[in-house]
Structure 1
Amino acid sequence: MKDEYLHLFVKETTVYNQLVVGSFLPESLWTPIPHLLQGWLRNYIAATFVYFVSSFLWCFYVYHFKRNVLLPEDAIPSRKSMLLQIYVAMKAMPWYCALPTISEYMVENGWTRCFARISDVGWLSYFVNLCFYLILVEFGIYWMHRELHDIKPLYKYLHATHHIYNKQNTLSPFAGLAFHPIDGILQAVPHVIALFLVPTHFTTHIGLLFIEAIWTANIHDCVDGKIWPVMGAGYHTIHHTTYRHNYGHYTVWMDWMFGTLRDPAEDETKKM
């Protein structure tokens, strides 16, 4: 029975492989590839597609369609800055994709607490566990990010790659994945650790990993959405300019709890 249930995960990832990899390669080329490598190839194609489409569309909207409306002219990054960010992100992308590939392997082998169908636990349990999952991820990413700053060798050899973008006119949605590959993986690891601690719907976990790519693009555009308690671009821009504040990911709660929150509205008041 256990093997039959675990086969549901394999079946699901096989469908994803067919949808993504099968759209780019003839069946005769990709079906002989081992299932694990198929998963990595699918993650690579999908992540690259999401990165370029979401970043390009958001750049077009902010820097061209809404030029001088959402950001002043001197805050718009140069094409050279954006090309450098793309170069760094694409160098790291093959390594980033190893993490979801490994997490899928662990799920398919029954090492985690993932479940395949919401009907297996019920909607109430699904939402309660999803809340716990997101809280754990938020907590984990906050402390992982903070330690990447506080532990000097980690900052010097890993996180500093991302922090060369330290002004408004050097930040763009393309900077969202412009990390040293180990740095990017470390900051995504809480998503995988949570699978061992909280019963998690597998499809939801996969979806949240790809939402990460869209979210990181959004918080690097310097456009402050001002929706409390969301850790929007206004907060994250301060992180890139002060290096000591706003380590959170989706919300400001962890920074508020641990004393590292700096509000962009207060910064604006001080300037006035």
Structure 2
Amino acid sequence: FMASSANVLWKLNQISVTNTLLPLPAFFVVYDAFYAPFHRALHHRSVYAFVHKHHHRQVVPTRGNTDAINVHPFEFVMGEYNHILTIFLVSRYLLPIHAVACLLFLAIGGCLATLNHTRLDCVFLRVPFTSIPVFAVRAHDTHHVIPNSNYGQYIMLWDWVMGTFRPHPQDPGSIESRRKPAARCKLQAEHSHEADMPVVGTKEKIG
């Protein structure tokens, strides 16, 4: 596609900020606009066991790219085709792009997918006016623990739109972080109540 499309430039003297750097954010937004709903569909109980369950056998991914590409062949092909679809849509309907931008998209995407399957705690940017990260390793880590959340491959924008974003259990604002103070308050109240109660016991008999 890149070789035959008139909207993909190849000459080095045609490289510019507009056709090389500007398309990059658009690539990731468009890619996950398709991938996040697709990923969510793979978690439907009617198909989960046949395709995506294989990837989730690794509950705590640690091996980087090895875990990132450890997916069913159907899922792998669809994910790669989505890159081509993204490049087509951005170059056809948004702006002409340089081939270098496409290569950067694939390279950066590969790095982000790899990071998502490591123990490295990386966070890049946040959705404006929210605490939701645009990219965060913790977000995908949460998905492996709580599968019905955080379906985006690269960014959490569309999970925010779909209402499927879930903060990491250790992050402020998460369900788990709200439960802990409540549990502590309940425990403190119980201890306070016990302290106010008279001590009932038997006196030791002397002599």
TM-score, reference length from structure 2: 0.67
Tell whether the 8 Å contact from 1:238 to 1:246 is kept in structure 2 after alignment: yes
Between Structure 1 and Structure 2, the one with more helix by share is: 1
Match in the other structure for 1:107: 2
The SS at the match of 2:29 is helix
Match in the other structure for 1:98: none
Asked if 1:225 corresponds to 2:109, the answer is no
Q: CA deviation at 1:133?
A: 2.6
Asked if 1:194 corresponds to 2:86, the answer is yes
* 1:77-130 CA distance string (max 9 Å, x none): xxxxxxxxxxxxxxxxxxxxxxxxxxxxx322x147322147548533544444
Q: CA deviation at 1:211?
A: 2.8
Alignment of 1:37-48 (within 5 A): none
Compared with structure 1, are the counterparts of its residues 193 and 226 closer, same or farther at alpha carbon in structure 2 (3 Å cutoff)? Answer: closer
The SS at the match of 1:107 is coil
Q: Quick one: which of 229, 232, 245 aligns to 2:149?
A: 245
Asked if 1:205 corresponds to 2:102, the answer is yes
Match in the other structure for 2:199: none
Match in the other structure for 1:18: none
Query: Structure 2 CA distance, aligned partners of 1:221 and 1:271?
Result: 27
Tell whether the 8 Å contact from 2:15 to 2:98 is kept in structure 1 after alignment: no
Match in the other structure for 1:51: none
Q: CA deviation at 1:235?
A: 1.1
Asked if 1:215 corresponds to 2:117, the answer is no
Tell whether the 8 Å contact from 1:235 to 1:246 is kept in structure 2 after alignment: yes
Compared with structure 1, are the counterparts of its residues 218 and 130 closer, same or farther at alpha carbon in structure 2 (3 Å cutoff)? Answer: closer
Identity %: 21
Asked if 1:161 corresponds to 2:69, the answer is no
The SS at the match of 2:135 is coil
Q: Quick one: which of 71, 77, 80 aligns to 1:185?
A: 77
* 1:127-173 CA distance string (max 9 Å, x none): 444433332112122122122223722x222211101112x3x5432
Compared with structure 1, are the counterparts of its residues 268 and 172 closer, same or farther at alpha carbon in structure 2 (3 Å cutoff)? Answer: farther
- The amino acid that maps onto 2:2 is V
Runs of 5+ in structure 1 lacking a partner?
1-105
Compared with structure 1, are the counterparts of its residues 128 and 118 closer, same or farther at alpha carbon in structure 2 (3 Å cutoff)? Answer: farther
TM-score, reference length from structure 1: 0.52
For the pair shown, which has the larger CA radius of gyration, 1 or 2? 2
Query: Structure 1 CA distance, aligned partners of 2:166 and 2:85?
Result: 28
Between Structure 1 and Structure 2, the one with more strand by share is: 2
* 1:64-83 CA distance string (max 9 Å, x none): xxxxxxxxxxxxxxxxxxxx
The SS at the match of 2:164 is coil
Tell whether the 8 Å contact from 2:55 to 2:71 is kept in structure 1 after alignment: yes
Tell whether the 8 Å contact from 1:231 to 1:249 is kept in structure 2 after alignment: no
- The amino acid that maps onto 1:269 is S
Alignment of 1:19-38 (within 5 A): none
Equivalences, count: 163
Query: Structure 2 CA distance, aligned partners of 1:112 and 1:141?
Result: 26
- The amino acid that maps onto 1:236 is H
Query: Structure 2 CA distance, aligned partners of 1:212 and 1:122?
Result: 21
Q: Quick one: which of 55, 63, 68 aligns to 1:172?
A: 63
The SS at the match of 2:2 is helix
Compared with structure 1, are the counterparts of its residues 128 and 226 closer, same or farther at alpha carbon in structure 2 (3 Å cutoff)? Answer: closer
Compared with structure 1, are the counterparts of its residues 119 and 160 closer, same or farther at alpha carbon in structure 2 (3 Å cutoff)? Answer: same
Q: CA deviation at 1:238?
A: 1.2
- The amino acid that maps onto 1:156 is A
The SS at the match of 1:261 is coil
Tell whether the 8 Å contact from 1:116 to 1:202 is kept in structure 2 after alignment: yes
